Amino acid sequence: MPDSIHPPKSSKAWGGVFREPTDKRVEAFSQSVSFDKRLANDDIDGSIAHARMLAVCGIISAEEASQIVTGLEEIRSEIARGEFEFTAAKEDIHLHIESALTARLGDTGRKLHTARSRNDQVATDLRLHCRHAIDRLDSGLHEVQRAFLDFAQREPGLVIPGYTHLRRAQPVLAAHQLLAWCEKFQRDRQRLADCRSRTNILPLGSGALAGTSLPIDREHVRHALDFESVAANSLDAASDRDFVCELAFVLSLTAVHLSQWAEEWILWSTEEFGFLRLPERFCTGSSIMPQKINPDVLELVRGKSARMIGNVQALLVLLKGLPTAYNRDLQEDKEAIFDSIDTLEAMLGVTAPLVAGTKFDHARVAATLERGHLDATSLMEALIAAGVPQRTAHEAVGHLVRRAMTRGVSLAELSDEEFGREYANWKSSFRSALGASRAVERMVSFGSTAPVQVADQLAVWQHRLNAP
């Protein structure tokens, strides 16, 4: 029997049953190639693994598989060179590549889609694509952590005001504050790794929804594409987009961290705070006010996080009404997740060099460090250590702060006599709890801002970020 019993007449991969051609408006409306062409490499990787497996299983010949692989590699180069033609009439990247292969190989090309549907194909492509993105974003985050660690290492002893409610609270080491960002980004990286393991499951071989009657070897494809496991339920596997939602969320939480950081540094670099000097090459100016040096990069990092949060919503709402197995709605998953990946990649790309070029203004920090009674808690704890109940010590120091506020002085500027009026057993040795630097040095708890604790953490991060 000849390979082609009926020479194909339709230009569509699915045209056989139709009695009229597709309306042009439908082609324009339903095409995805304008955005899913970025899956081209993943699609070709998946098809090569699939074709080789078909040959190993005796479903196509080794010669056919080798022609398919060569043809697909040629198509890959053509796309990379920008010479490949995309058209709405061919719907999506999967059909484009398959039809280009068939144009080259005839019936051999027409065999590639054996034991496969676009449903398990697109799910496979998207998983490969997200997996690669996860790996790139993880190294982007690593770079950013490195930049924060380097900054912390450049400022091992600098004491700055710590804030709660955006009010001066207790003094902290600048290095401690910088390492706080490393912690957040580490959790982001852990979430990425966790999401990667649920992304890295092979759907190919699920067919449209029910599997296939042809004797395929899914384990062979799993191994070739470096997936961790093979999806066990064809109905679920062809339509599962949990990994897309999960990745969009992980990326949006990372973006939220970057947005918080951007907000903090916008504030800290104002004339009013004056703690930080941003690199001018990472600032932009005003077209009307000649003096302006604006933190637009930080503002855009903060601003772009909004769209990424929106993408999580869009994906969840996309999925909520879908019955089991593939529905065409799922095509709408791509623009949202691609946008989140691109946006975060761009944010990480400017964050690391901006951090590397930023400096503390030591004079400005020092000029106001003793304002705001940052050492009040330190004094209270010194009294507690001498046996005063916490609530009593809190109240006594509260009175002392009120007195200092009224006189417009720091706690250290009060006299022993004034201290003695609030606390009968006052000794001038309690003064060792006063002053921002001393307050920082007196911390002892693990994870605190004490210089020894922070030095330990700097060493931990140095080791962690240098490890391969």
Name the catalytic one among 4, 10, 286, 432. Answer: 286
The verdict on 116 binding ligand ARG (CB under 6 A) reads: no
3-class SS letters over 14-31 = CHHHCCCCCCHHHHHHHC
The angle at the Cα of 163, spanning 416 to 379, to the nearest 5 degrees, equals 20
Count how many Cα atoms sit within 13 Å of the Cα of residue 52 in the half-sphere of its side chain. Answer: 16
Of residues 122 and 347, the one with the C-beta less far from ligand ARG: 122
Residue 331 engages ligand ARG in binding (rule: CB under 6 A): yes
Instruction: Please state the closest distance from residue 64 (CB atom) to ligand ARG, in A.
Output: 25
- Minimum gap (Å) between residue 47 Cβ and ligand ARG: 14
Please say whether the beta carbons of 401 and 389 come within 8 A: no
Query: Is the sign of the CA dihedral 340, 320, 118, 223 positive or negative?
Result: positive
Of residues 299 and 332, the one with the C-beta less far from ligand ARG: 332
Min separation Cβ 42 and ligand ARG, Å: 12
310: Cβ contacts below 8 Å, ≥ 6 apart: none
CA 69 to the chain's CA centroid: 34
Our CB check for ligand ARG shows the closer of 36 and 375 to be: 36
- Which of 169, 155, 117, 148 is CA-nearest to residue 265? 148
Segment contacting ligand ARG by CB under 6 A, of 130-138, 167-175, 283-291, 325-333: 325-333
CB of 5 to ligand ARG, least distance (A): 24
Measuring CA to CA, which residue among 55, 78, 79, 80 is closest to residue 66?
Answer: 55
Nearest approach in angstroms of CB 330 to ligand ARG is 5
Residues facing residue 171 across a β-bridge: 161
Whether residue 213 lies in the annotated active site: no
CB of 14 to ligand ARG, least distance (A): 8
**3-class SS string, 122-161:** HHHHHHHHHHHHHHHHHHHHHHHHHHHHHHHHHCCCCEEE
Q: Which residue of 330, 374, 396, 440 would you call a contact of ligand ARG, by CB under 6 A?
A: 330
Using CB under 6 A as the binding rule, whether residue 328 contacts ligand ARG is answered as yes
Alpha carbon distance 294, 284 (integer Å): 5
Residue 380 sits at φ, ψ, to 5 deg, of -60, -45
Does 347 help bind ligand ARG (rule: CB under 6 A)?
no
- Give the total residue count for the chain: 468
**Closer by beta carbon to ligand ARG, 11 or else 432:** 11
Is the Cβ of residue 172 or residue 341 nearer to ligand ARG in the bound state? 341
Positive or negative, the CA dihedral 84, 87, 90, 92 is positive
CA 295 centroid distance within chain: 22
For residues 128 and 434, which CB has a smaller minimum distance to ligand ARG in the complex? 128
**Gyration radius of the chain's alpha carbons:** 31
Q: Rule CB under 6 A: choose which of 99, 119, 199, 252 binds ligand ARG.
A: 119
CB closer to ligand ARG, 16 vs 106: 16
30 carries an active-site annotation: no
* Catalytic site residue from 165, 213, 287, 428: 165
Number of residues that bind ligand ARG (CB under 6 A): 10
Cβ neighbours for 437, distance < 8 A, ≥ 6 positions apart: 159, 171
The answer to whether 122 contacts ligand ARG (rule: CB under 6 A) is: yes
- Does position 32 interact with ligand ARG (CB under 6 A)? The reply is yes
Residue of 113, 118, 176, 218 that binds ligand ARG (CB under 6 A)? 118
Residue 92 binds ligand ARG, judged by CB under 6 A: yes
Q: Minimum CB separation from ligand ARG for residue 86, in Å? A: 13
The footprint of ligand ARG (CB under 6 A) covers 32, 36, 92, 118-119, 122, 326, 328, 330-331
Residues carrying an active site annotation: 165, 286
